[in-house]
Structure 1
Amino acid sequence: MTADRILLEVCVDTPAGLAAAIAGGADRIELCAALGQQGLTPAPGLIAQASKAPIPIYAMIRPRQGDFRYDAVELDAMRRDIDAARDAGLAGVVFGANRDNGELDADVLAPLIAQSEGLGVTLHRAFDLVPDFEAGLELAIELGFERVLTSGGAQNAMAGAARIAQLTAQARARIAILAGGGINPANAAEVIARTGVTEVHGSCSAPLPPVDHRSRAHELGFTPDGARDTRREIVEDLVRVLRQL
Structure 2
Amino acid sequence: MKKIEIACFNLESALIAQNSGADRVELCANMSVGGTTPTVEIIQQARENLTIDLYVMIRPRGGNFIYSGAEFEQMKSEIEAIKKLGVNGFVFGILKDDNTINIEQNKVLVELANPFPCTFHRAFDAISDYEKAVEDVISCGFSTILTSGTFPNVMEGKEVLKQLVKQANNRIEIMPGGGLRSTNVLELNEVVSANWFHSSAITDGSEIASPEEIVQLKKKLQS
TM superposition score normalised by structure 1: 0.88
Question: Would the aligned equivalents of 2:154 and 2:176 in 1 still touch at CA under 8 Å?
Answer: yes
Question: Would the aligned equivalents of 2:9 and 2:207 in 1 still touch at CA under 8 Å?
Answer: no
Deviation at 1:166, TM superposition (A): 0.4
The structure having more radius of gyration, on CA atoms, is 1
2:1 maps to 1:22: no
From the superposition, tell whether residues 206 and 228 of structure 1 become closer, same or farther in structure 2 (CA, over 3 Å): farther
Instruction: Give the aligned residue type for 2:4.
Output: L
Structure 1 runs (4+) deviating above 6 angstroms are none
Structure 1 SS opposite 2:203? strand
Structure 2 SS opposite 1:79? helix
Counterparts of 1:128-207 in structure 2, within 5 Å, are: 128-207=125-204
TM superposition score normalised by structure 2: 0.97
Distance 2:206 2:212 in 1: 18
Unpaired runs of 5+ residues, structure 1, are 208-225
What is the total number of aligned residue pairs between the two structures? 222
Superposed CA RMSD: 1.0
Structure 2 SS opposite 1:228? coil
Unpaired runs of 5+ residues, structure 2, are none
Question: Would the aligned equivalents of 1:206 and 1:228 in 2 still touch at CA under 8 Å?
Answer: no
Tell me the residue number matched to 1:231. 210
Question: Would the aligned equivalents of 1:85 and 1:92 in 2 still touch at CA under 8 Å?
Answer: no
- Residues 35-90 of structure 1: CA distance to partner in whole angstroms, max 9, x if unpaired? 22111101112100221311111100001010001111111111111112210010
Counterparts of 1:117-136 in structure 2, within 5 Å, are: 117-136=114-133
2:60 maps to 1:63: yes
Distance 2:206 2:188 in 1: 26
- Residues 180-219 of structure 1: CA distance to partner in whole angstroms, max 9, x if unpaired? 0111111001111111111100000132xxxxxxxxxxxx
Tell me the residue number matched to 1:212. none
Deviation at 1:141, TM superposition (A): 0.9
Deviation at 1:232, TM superposition (A): 1.4
Distance 1:206 1:187 in 2: 13
Structure 2 SS opposite 1:33? coil
Question: Would the aligned equivalents of 1:206 and 1:231 in 2 still touch at CA under 8 Å?
Answer: yes
Between 1:44-53 and 1:145-154, the stretch displaced more is 44-53
Tell me the residue number matched to 1:49. 45
Question: Would the aligned equivalents of 1:178 and 1:198 in 2 still touch at CA under 8 Å?
Answer: yes
Structure 2 SS opposite 1:184? coil
Structure 2 SS opposite 1:11? strand
Distance 1:47 1:59 in 2: 8
Deviation at 1:153, TM superposition (A): 0.4
